[in-house]
Amino acid sequence: MNDPILQKHADSIMNASNLDDLADAIEAARDDNCDSNDLQAAGVDWPGLPTFGAEPEDTAEVWSWDDARLLLIEGMMVELTERD
């Protein structure tokens, strides 16, 4: 895959420096109609997204986190939720 827009979004996702940047990068890719499978082919490691704090006790359906919040993704819809 050699789509520069897709590659830009994949790089932004994998090189996010904090949870807000990661959520914004995923939303920007969604807004440009990027498909999660195409992003994966361009280098996004969905199970290996960057994390930014201590791992929560339960990571079921959690894609990333920081010390205060969890990042949930369904389709390409992103939700940041407070940690318990």
Backbone Cα Rg of the chain: 12
Separation of alpha carbons 29 and 58, rounded Å: 27
CB within 8 A of 20, min separation 6: which ones?
A: 80
Whether pLDDT at 62 is above 80? yes
Separation of alpha carbons 81 and 24, rounded Å: 15
Whether pLDDT at 1 is above 60? no
Mean pLDDT of 45-67: 96
What is the CB-side half-sphere exposure of residue 38 using CA atoms within 13 A? 17
Domain boundary assignment for the chain: 4-82
Tens of pLDDT, residues 2-52: 799 999 999 999 999 999 999 999 999 999 999 999 999 999 999 999 999
pLDDT value for 35: 93
